[in-house]
Amino acid sequence: MRIAVIGGGPGGLYAAALLKRLDPARDITVWERGAPDDTFGFGVVLSDETLGGIEHADPVVFRALQAEFTRWDDIDVHFRGEVVTSGGHGFAALDRRRLLTILHQRCRDLGVELRLRETGPAAAELAATHDLVIAADGANSTTRAAHADVFRPRLTGHRCRYIWLGSDLPLNAFRFDIVETEYGVMQGHAYPYRDGASTFIVEMREEVWLRAGFDRLDEAESIARCEKLFAGCLDGHALHGNRSRWGAFTTVVNERWWHERTVLIGDAAHTAHFSIGSGTKLAMEDALALAACLQEQPDVPAALTAYETERRPVVESTQRAARASLEWFEQVGQYTGQPPLQFAFNLLTRSRRVTHDNLRLRDRGFTDAVERDFGTEPATPPMFTPFRLGGLTLRNRVVVSPMDMYSAVDGTPGDFHLVHLGARALGGAGLVMTEMVCVSPHGRITPGCAGLYTDEHETAWRRVTDFAHAQSSAAIGLQLGHSGRKGSTRLMWDGMDEPLPDGNWPLVAPSPLSYRPGVNQVPSELDAAGLAAVREEFTAAALRGARAGFDLLELHCAHGYLLSSFLSPLTNHRTDAYGGDLDGRLRYPLEVFDAVRAVWPRDRPMTVRISATDWAPGGTTEDDAVAVARAFAAHGADAIDVSTGQVVADERPQYGRSYQTPYADRIRNELGVPVITVGAISSWDDVNSLLLAGRTDLCALARPHLYDPNWTLHAAAEQNYSGPAAPWPQQYAAGSRRPPSGRTDAPKPRLTL
């Protein structure tokens, strides 16, 4: 088997060594245009998991690496004159040149041909004479570019500039330095890789970089200015370069990783921001997986299919975490008002991979200090810290998110709603929200949607609030909305967003644009009389809600319903005072908010749910979302409930754990407005982490409460909490401990001497 490797970085060299070790008969050649000791950067960080794989795959390489490692456990965050340390993390690093030397030697010992200082033939040419071509030619891969029609790469640029430097600064921890300069916030990422030598990466947003004049400086001048700006961090030690240039990180994603006999590995296939670890780590893991699949599968196509199937989910997970980390550093300026302990916790949990519980296992003293700083009582998880919203005090920070049940009859909630919402109130959440309750028959999404536009509706809702207040400690909130152009559709389980087969009612919207052209009906554009009539429907429903006993009212301005459609430029094409720029698009939702706020009791809070992005080009942006939140807060909103999307049918959301949280995070920390965050929050550990990091004030969970109505009570039991923020109903008190499992954990009988 003839194998060509394009690129002599760690990924390409390690792939060649492994493949030759597994089958010495293989003819393997590596082409690398650089010299043996040419390298970018200084130190390489590898995880214990990666090292375990290396040890198993090639003990010779592992032993050679092990002899070179610098190890440490702490992360130090230097912020505003204080140093916050978190321990128990476990890192290993070594000089990148030494890593290359070890891999060069291993390849030579095994009989791999190394053609250094030689640009190899193109992948297509090599594929004509080789059984396999491994493209390990980096983030600027010429192989990927030459076959872009097959690999279909997506290259995404980002907002920060960075430069990779070295230093003689002695370190015994991974260190983050946050420096507030006259130009803006800058950060240093530093770690040791051998005695007396450290990597020191300087990073900042591009506008800060421009204000500091780095665009006009050469390498030596940039280093001198960085030394001056980070003088307080360097303690008299120097920075030095290695052909160091300022760059902007690019995230590389490919739809396919292989074609015929050519396969991409490492940065050629995918990149992950350096703030969560080394690209070298991913490249070497790729090499290991590729070698294993070639050994296990009957032919090259089967092996490459297996390789991509195995590695893609791992890489995509890493890239999601890396993007969250990258974006955190892009927005670091919004956190500089946080106290040092909270700032450090926020930084450590930025990727959402490291959590409160995870950090507590590593360093209990650190998390205890963060919790005290947050204001938690002793032995109280953060999620069970009370929160005051307007005139309402919630026992804890858990919200049962609004969830449409499609089970009302002519808008009237029935026994199902009583049991459904009553069960969640008994389940311990601080606030239980109704589904979107519609302000008129024509404002319903489906015939099964609940309403609040008749006396019968008001009486029925009173049954629900009376039960919640009498039998639980939960507050109960009313979400009011109007379906707009997304109305007159079937029940979700009969076809979500599908028009009714008959009995349709007319729709209204800011502009005559159907939700799905050719499928959903075209709404009528609201005129002055229509706008006034809908506004009156909202105020009438709010008055009914107040009389029905709801503790909180939320105005639904998200998910493409009527008020949301006014806010998005994709759905509001009006040319009058209610369209055009954001101020115009905000005008009607604010008028409705003001009208509802005027009739809603002053001692009861009012919140607004928004879609912070449309997940579609030309739609609502993050900056728009901040402006929308600022406007509603100025008009008296007590909190902003930050959701995303569902505005247009062709959206492309970027799903992932807590994927909507960054939008709430920015609004909270930029505006100082209380927020409710939603979106794939599933564990109590996530809730505690988000709260302690200062990214939200309340966490709303939907599907977890469908799976387990007692989710909050069970979270308390699992954390050994039995305080006043999560009281078990007296009738359920006997079940407040987890039932014992079967006897599978009993001692096994002795069967041998």
The residues carrying an active-site annotation are 561
Q: Give dist(CA 548, CA 412) in Å, integer.
A: 13
Collapsed DSSP state (helix, strand, coil) of residue 86: strand
> Which residues contact residue 527 at a Cβ distance below 8 angstroms, ignoring those fewer than 6 apart?
none
Q: Give dist(CA 644, CA 666) in Å, integer.
A: 14
Contact 446, 490 (CB under 8 A): yes
Residue where the block lists tokens 């990924």: 11
Collapsed DSSP state (helix, strand, coil) of residue 548: coil
* HEC assignment per residue over 410-468: CCECCHHHHHHHHHHHHCCCCEEEEEEEECCHHHCCCCCCCECCCHHHHHHHHHHHHHH
Q: Give dist(CA 271, CA 252) in Å, integer.
A: 5
H or E stretch at 71: strand 70-72
Residue where the block lists tokens 């280093």: 223
Cα separations in angstroms, 24 against 54, 108, 131, 312: 19, 12, 15, 28
Q: Give dist(CA 694, CA 80) in Å, integer.
A: 18
> Which residues contact residue 498 at a Cβ distance below 8 angstroms, ignoring those fewer than 6 apart?
489, 490, 519
Task: Say how many CA atoms lie within 13 Å of 641 toward its Cβ.
Answer: 28
Q: Give dist(CA 442, CA 438) in Å, integer.
A: 9
CB atoms within 10 A of CB 470: 8
Give the angle subtended at the CA of 323 by the CAs of 317 and 327, to the nearest 5°: 155
Residue where the block lists tokens 């505003």: 80
Contact 530, 538 (CB under 8 A): no
